[in-house]
Homo-oligomer: A and B are copies of this chain.
Amino acid sequence: MVAVLKPGTTNEQVENLTVWLEGRGLKVHISKGEFQTILGLIGDTSQIDTELLEGLEMIESVKRVTEPFKSANRKFHPDDSIIDLGGLKIGGPHFQLIAGPCSVESPEQILAIAQSVHESGASILRGGAFKPRTSPYDFQGLRMDGIEMLLEAKKKTGMPIITEIMNANHLPMFENVDIIQVGARNMQNFELLKELGMIRKPVMLKRGLANTMQELLMSAEYIMSGGNHNVILCERGIRTFETYTRNTLDLSAVPMLRELSHLPVIVDPSHASGHARLVKPMSLAAAAAGANGIMIEVHNDPVNALCDGAQSLTPEQFREVAKKVRRIREALAE
What residues make up the interface of A, taking CB atoms closer than 8 Å to B?
2, 4, 27, 29-36, 38, 40, 42-43, 46-47, 49, 51-52, 54-57, 60-61, 63, 65-66, 68, 75, 132-139, 166-169, 185-186, 188-191, 194, 209-215, 218, 221-222, 225, 238-245, 248-256, 259-260, 272-273, 277-278, 281-282, 284-290, 302-310, 312, 324, 327-328, 330-332, 334
Contacts and interface: CB of A to CB of B under 8 A. Distances in A.
A33 B38 contact: no
Given A136-B225, A167-B191, 11 more contacts: A36-B65, A46-B135, A49-B139, A51-B309, A134-B188, A210-B241, A241-B241, A281-B288, A281-B289, A282-B289, A324-B332
Among A61, A242, A254, A282, chain B packs the most CB atoms within 10 A around the CB of A242
A68 B137 contact: yes
Among A55, A133, A281, chain B packs the most CB atoms within 10 A around the CB of A55
Number of copies: 4
Contacts of A137: 46-47, 68, 221, 225
A42 B32 contact: yes
Contacts of A138: 49
Given A166-B191, A185-B189, A327-B332, A34 B38 contact: no
Contact of A55 (B32, B139, B210, B309): B309
A111 B213 CA distance: 40
